Amino acid sequence: MSTFFSETAWLCLAVTAVLGGAVLCKLRKSPGQVEVKVVCLVGLWGGACLLGPSVFWVLILFSLSCYLLYTYLSGQELLPVDQKAVLITGSDSGIGHALSKYLDALGFTVFAGVLNEKGSGAEELRRTCSKSLSVLQLDITDPQQIKDAYSKVVEKVQNRGLWAVVNNAGIIGFPADGELIPMTDYKQCMAVNFFGAVEVTKAFLPLLRKSKGRLVNISSMAGGLPIVHLASYGSSKAALTMFSAIMRQELSKWGIKVSTIQPGGFQTNITGTTEMRAQLEKSLLDHLPRDVQKDYGEDYITMQRIFLESADKYSSPDITPVLLDIRHAVSAKRPFAFYTPGKLVYLELFFFAVSPTGIFDYFSKKFLNSGKAVPRALSMRN
């Protein structure tokens, strides 16, 4: 019996060594964001193995973990580029601009949709990228421009189809208490961040069905986490996140994979220039009802600009994690449904999802609320 057990143990050890080596080879070829998840998974399995009743069961459990990891990593390998065509909206600046350059350098055929085809961002793309990149005039709130862009894409890709659509275009508006934000800002955020993305998706889905490609929607952590002063922006991104989740299920029968990117704080041009913020602030004050302005006070309202200033201060200037996650969503055999690039983004979203409302609100007031400004009426009462 002991001889049989010994031979079985040696056999399990040999299988474990082979599977472990295969996992390491797969891991070396996998992108960085996968590596972190694998390390965590190995740690959990390792802890379970250490609690095993005998060496035999430790080897069995470890062999099983290696097999599962090998299967998982096989789906994370990146498909060959093969000049796959990708449409990216909002490529004038920020993430869209950097992504257009990044995917072009990797060999993708990039269609960079811009709000202004004669602007500096569009000109820079033409000057610095390869001839495979095409700049398209694409205001995603204009149905005619979407149709024109579709015609140009079809003309170039012909029977190949379009491999991926990256809905990146977005605006944030002026951050303030939800009562202070004008209805025009709510409507504009929904028009760009949600309705525009939906209309682009609907227009280009026939091409994605042909290629069994990818739909990648750039949402935000504000779409899954209630952040003060971002009622209009967060609501529109939450709508986009839910739309993506539903489309992921509906489009699976066509072989189309849908991913949602929820970045944390990264420095992009979405917050606008100082002049643009001042103009939005003036517009907010000009259209605010007199009784509301009296209760809040002009000092409180003008203090809201601190939110964007602090956001810029604590945001990361390196958007590489976002680019890597988008590339994985576009290229992996089995991309993830959600990506959360940025420090602690996943943990914050998880904390909101599982914590009682009272606890979350307490920590939100303590750590997420910017500044100590109090509306005029409340300060007078105190």
User: How far is the C-alpha of 178 from the C-alpha of 190, rounded, in Å?
Assistant: 15
316 and 172 within one domain: yes
Same domain, 172 and 64: no
Q: Are residues 350 and 215 in the same domain?
A: yes
pLDDT digits (tens, 9 = 90+) for 263-288: 988 877 766 666 777 777 777 777 78
Alpha helix segments (H runs only) across the chain: 2-29, 32-50, 55-74, 94-106, 120-128, 143-157, 183-189, 197-211, 231-251, 274-286, 290-296, 298-302, 305-314, 320-331, 345-354, 357-363, 376-381
- What's the confidence (pLDDT) of residue 21? 59
Among 27, 42, 74, give the residue marking a domain's end. Answer: 74
pLDDT confidence of residue 1:
44
74 has pLDDT over 60: no
**Do 26 and 101 lie in a common domain?**
no
Query: Is residue 374 one of the residues assigned to a domain?
Result: no
Tell whether the model's pLDDT for residue 8 goes beyond 60.
no
Instruction: Looking at the structure, tell me whether residues 123 and 28 fall in a common domain.
Output: no
Residues 264, 157: one domain?
Answer: yes
Do the strands 85-88 and 109-114 form a parallel or antiparallel pair, or are they unpaired?
parallel
293-342 pLDDT, tens digit each:
888 888 887 777 776 666 666 677 889 999 999 999 999 999 999 999 98
- Catalytic positions: 233
Tell me whether strands 109-114 and 134-137 are parallel, antiparallel or unpaired: parallel
In a domain, 377, yes or no: no
Of 74, 95, 121, the last residue of a domain is 74
| CATH code of the domain containing 184 | 3.40.50.720
Asked if the structure places residue 373 within a domain, the reply is no
CB 223 within 8 A of CB 241: yes
Helix (H) or strand (E) holding 338: strand 338-339
- Supply the pLDDT for residue 243: 98
Asked whether residue 134 falls in the same domain as residue 166, the answer is yes
pLDDT digits (tens, 9 = 90+) for 185-233: 999 999 999 999 999 999 999 999 999 999 999 999 999 999 888 999 9
The average confidence (pLDDT) of the chain is 83
**CA 200, 206, 211, 215 torsion: positive or negative?**
positive
Are residues 91 and 49 part of one domain? no
- Contact indicator for 362, 376 with CB cutoff of 8 Å: no
One domain, residues 58 and 176: no
Lookup result for tokens 């605010």 = 288
Domain-located, residue 378: no
Examine the fold and report which residue of 16, 51, 74 is the final residue of a domain before the chain moves on. 74
**Looking at the domain assignment, is residue 339 inside a domain?**
yes
232 falls within a domain? yes
Same domain, 42 and 141: no
Interval 119-158: pLDDT, tens: 999 999 999 999 999 999 999 999 999 999 999 999 999 8
Asked if 57 and 90 sit in the same domain, the reply is no
Position 379 in a domain: no
pLDDT tens-place string over residues 240-251:
999 999 999 999
The DSSP symbol for 43 reads H
Q: pTM for the whole thing? A: 0.81
- % of the chain residues with pLDDT over 90: 51
The answer to whether the beta carbons of residues 174 and 165 sit under 8 Å apart is no
The whole domain housing 53 covers 2-74
94: nearest Cα among 216, 340, 270, 317: 270
Span 177-188, pLDDT tens digits: 899 998 999 999
211 C-beta neighbours (distance < 10 Å), count: 18
- Is residue 78's pLDDT more than 80? yes
The Cα–Cα gap between 315 and 143 comes to: 34
Collapse the DSSP code of 114 into the 3-class scheme (helix H, G, I; strand E, B; otherwise coil) and give the result.
Answer: strand
The answer for residues whose C-beta is within 8 angstroms of residue 236's C-beta and 6 or more apart is: 189, 190, 192, 193, 194, 223
pLDDT band at 22 (very low <50, low <70, confident <90, very high): low
In this structure, the answer to whether residues 33 and 127 fall within a common structural domain is: no
| Separation of first and last alpha carbons in the chain | 82
What kind and span of H or E run contains 134?
strand 134-137
What's the DSSP call for residue 216? E
Considering the domain boundaries, does residue 186 fall inside one?
Answer: yes
C-beta separation of 325 from 209 below 8 A: no
* Count of the separate structural domains present in the chain: 2
